[in-house]
Amino acid sequence: MMRQMREATKPIMLLAALAFVGLMVFQWGMDITGQSSGGVGEIGSVNREAVTYDAYMATYRNLYDQVQRGQELPITSQQNKEIEDAAFDEVVNALLIRQELRKRGITVTGAEISQAAQLSPPADLRPQFTSETGQFDAVGYQTFLATLPPDQLVLLEAYYRDVIPRGKLLRQIASGIFMSDGDLWRQFRDQNDQIEIRFAPLDPSSRYDDVDFPVAANDVAAYYDANQDEFATPARARVVVTVLDKTPTAADTVSMGDKATTLRQEILDGGDFAEVAARESSDQGSAQIGGDLGVFPKDRMVNEFDSVAFSIGLNTLSEPIRTSFGYHLLEVTDRWGQDSAQARHILIPFERTDDSEIALLMLADSLEDMAETMSLAQAATNAGLTSATIELAENFPFVQGAGQVSEGADWAFQDAEPGDVSPVFETQQAFYALELISAEEEGFLPLGDATVAIEATLRFAMKMERAVSDGQQIVDRIAAGETFDAVVSEMGLEITETEFFSRNDFVPGMGRQNGAIGAAFGLRPGEISGVVTTRANAFIIQQVNYAVADSAAWLSQTLQQRQTQVAVVEQTRLAEWIEALRASARIIDRRDEVLAPVDEDAPLQMPMGF
């Protein structure tokens, strides 16, 4: 029964002793390359420098814990695979940076470490010595340093010995970044200049009949030959799939309602509302402050909750209120007519009970066991489940009811042979298993299958050409003295008027950040454009009003804007630099070989030397 849970935490449960070693490496701050750990095995290399298991496990545990802290549900097997890959990448990046530091001769002196330790505490420590007004208590921090035991000082020194050279390297990589006032003002204006316009869309797709634009077969063939990339098809696999939905059952929902009723009775019998909220409520934002929601206006909450909040008596504990989030116990502590209210609540979410969760895990294990000796469809039938035959695309593997199934896709496209049945995988929504029927490598859509799409593309191009010609006639007539409204009306078109918008806003009927938006901002109030085309339409535009960004507001935030933009450019440059290092490095990943799960049915073999 518990095999599913063991699989979900691979490689943590691979060997408990080794996992413990990896945890110590992380908790005690050993360096990420694993050089100080003594080593328990290599799982790869970077330019012939070992990627150690200890370093990998330290990073893996760190990432795993970060993800788990960010969600209430247990980490799924698919998430776990993504964490494993991210941990390996992080260790590889750390080794590449270390190698680059050696190559560039970047080191750190004792004086630099001493100065940094006294004036620049690690990010995790700094909040403890920062006042509410943002002032750093240097004296308090230095007093703290003086009380640290020797072993902690050694770790602190190791931290600076690692961080300072990295900072020097970043400064070298990001050197020369400069944001001029002109650049910053243009960026600010792009975000804050606003205009009002009137525009006439020419709508070539719907304005003209298809029959008036025949497409020749030789033109279709020529387009196909000249644009092969447009017809690339991803690798595809035909699979049988069965899904075990994690959605709480009707019985689970009833059980959660019963739990809400029980908690309500506990409070009515004298239990403290705040203590029950802290213990039971799944609304983490309010649970630790006694369930307090603060003051909220009418219609802010969902209808079922809102109607009770503005009708129940003050300081009265409500019956369980069912919403899409679960069951709420509500107590309104103050209210100002039908305007706003102050309340606290306890949220019991819709989730599976422990018994229901165990039954689901047992069903998943049973399915996996049966599928080892029969087809997946037969195993699903025996387990009381349904199966279906679907097609998976490697670039977007999606299964109805399970969502993105990248872990299953990796199995289907990399590991499986036709007839193989996968283990049971897990996503946030479901457990699922696959049986591979067939697989096709990536390729190109045949001309016959692409013809309809090509004809539509070529036909639209001809329609657009006609629309531009018609639009130019409108522009010429306006230039000759006719009014915009009169000519457009005579041509059977309509004018759309907008409210104020910026360059980055979406404009209904026109789109976002395209040539038409740019052309509109290039006009003067009252001026009418020529024919402006986008990928999907053609327009004639008249600017009505132009509101220039507030230069005083820009000056007041220039320093912060410059710092933000420099940081963005630094991060972009650093990411590009790392990618370039990875592209030129010789990276070997042996995780599949070294960390392969032990075959429980294989004969026991003692290590050599025993």
Q: What is the pLDDT of residue 14?
A: 27
Q: Looking at the structure, tell me whether residues 242 and 370 fall in a common domain.
A: yes
Q: Are residues 96 and 119 in the same domain?
A: no
Domain region containing 313: 250-351
Q: What angle do CA 506, 508, 509 make, to 5 degrees?
A: 125
Residues 535 and 514: their CA atoms lie apart, in Å, by: 9
Same domain, yes or no: 431 and 458: no
Q: Residue 510 CB: number of other CB atoms within 10 A?
A: 22
Measure the CA–CA gap between 94 and 31, rounded to whole angstroms.
Answer: 10
CB–CB of 46/586 below 8 Å? yes
pLDDT at 605 over 80: no
Task: Examine the pLDDT at 475 and tell me if it is beyond 90.
Answer: yes
Q: Residue 556: inside a domain, yes or no?
A: no
Looking at the structure, do residues 272 and 205 belong to the same domain, yes or no? no
Which of 441, 462, 495 is where one domain is finished?
441
What's the pLDDT score for residue 242?
97
Asked if 410 and 498 sit in the same domain, the reply is no
Binned at pLDDT 50, 70 and 90, residue 400 comes out as very high
Domain of 509, CATH number, reads 3.10.50
Q: What are phi and psi of 504, to 5 degrees?
A: -95, -5
Mean pLDDT, all residues of the chain = 87
Chosen domain end from 316, 351, 386: 351
Task: Tell me the mean pLDDT in the region 540-562.
Answer: 94
**What is the pLDDT at residue 70?**
84
Q: End-to-end CA distance of the chain: give it in Å, rounded.
A: 34
pLDDT at 5: 34
Mean local confidence (pLDDT), 216-243: 94
Query: How much of the chain exceeds pLDDT 90, in percent?
Result: 67
How many CA atoms within 13 Å lie on the side-chain side of 477? Answer: 17
CA dihedral 310, 311, 312, 318 (to 10 degrees): -80
Q: What is the pLDDT of residue 177?
A: 84
Q: Is the pLDDT of residue 267 over 90?
A: yes
Task: Name the pLDDT band for 176 (thresholds 50, 70, 90).
Answer: confident
Give phi and psi for 352, each to the nearest 5: -70, 145
Considering the domain boundaries, does residue 552 fall inside one?
no
Find the angle CA(278)-CA(280)-CA(286) to the nearest 5 degrees: 45
Number of domains composing the chain = 5
pLDDT of 28 reads: 30
The better pLDDT of the pair 600, 520 is held by 520
Same domain, 208 and 241: no
Domain membership of residue 57 (yes or no) is yes
Among 168-177, 299-308, 438-447, 453-462, the minimum mean pLDDT is found in 168-177
pLDDT at 599: 52
One domain, residues 211 and 260: no
Question: Is residue 22's pLDDT more than 50?
Answer: no
Q: Evaluate if residue 167 carries a pLDDT over 90.
A: no
Q: Examine the fold and report which residue of 489, 519, 546 is the final residue of a domain before the chain moves on.
A: 546
Mean pLDDT check: name the lowest of 134-138, 303-307, 463-467, 532-536.
134-138
**Torsion sign across C-alpha atoms 337, 340, 346, 352:** positive
Greatest alpha-carbon span in the chain: 101
pLDDT of residue 597: 60
pTM: 0.63
Q: What CATH number does residue 402 fall under?
A: 3.10.50.40
Same domain, 488 and 521: yes
Q: Does some domain include residue 585?
A: no
Three-state SS string over 468-511 comes to: HHHHHHHHHHHHCCCCHHHHHHHCCCCCEECCCECCCCEECCCE
Residue 332 has pLDDT above 60, yes or no: yes
Judge whether residue 153 has pLDDT over 80: yes
The per-residue pLDDT for 15 is 27
- Whether 380 and 242 map to the same domain: the answer is yes
For residues 158 and 202, membership in a common domain is answered with no
Q: Are residues 375 and 305 in the same domain?
A: no
pLDDT at 364 over 50: yes
Q: 579 lies in a domain?
A: no
Asked whether the beta carbons of 38 and 46 are under 8 A apart, the reply is no
User: At 541, phi and psi to the nearest 5?
Assistant: -125, 140
Instruction: Please report, for residues 195, 495, 502, 542, the alpha-carbon distance to residue 516 in angstroms, rounded to integers and kept in the order given.
Output: 13, 15, 13, 11
In the chain, what percentage of residues exceed pLDDT 70?
Answer: 91
For residues 427-454, average pLDDT: 94
| Residue 551, in any domain of the structure | no
**Residue 534, Ramachandran bin (φ over 0: left; ψ between -120 and 50: alpha; else beta):** beta
The answer to whether 175 and 470 have CB atoms below 8 angstroms apart is no
The reported pLDDT for the residue numbered 598 is 52
pLDDT of 464 > 70? The answer is yes
DSSP line for 438-459: EEE--EE--HHHHHHHHHHHHH
CA 422, CA 436: separation in Å to the nearest integer? Answer: 8
* Phi (first) and psi of residue 600, to 5 degrees: -65, -20
Residue 387 · residue 240 · CB < 8 Å: yes
Asked whether residue 506 is domain-assigned, the answer is yes
Q: What is the tens place of the pLDDT at every residue in 74-115?
A: 888 888 889 999 999 999 999 999 999 999 999 888 888 888
Task: Work out the pLDDT band at 147, boundaries 50, 70, 90.
Answer: confident
Domain contains 405: yes
Name residue 97's amino acid: I
Residue 341's CB is within 10 A of a number of other CB atoms, namely 25
Clarify whether residues 469 and 416 are in a common domain. Answer: no
List the Cα angle 534/535/541 in 5-degree steps.
20
**Contact predicate 438/238, CB 8 Å:** yes
> Is pLDDT of 117 > 90?
no
Among 9-13, 172-176, 498-502, the range with the most confident prediction by mean pLDDT is 498-502
Predicted local distance difference test score (pLDDT) of residue 20: 29
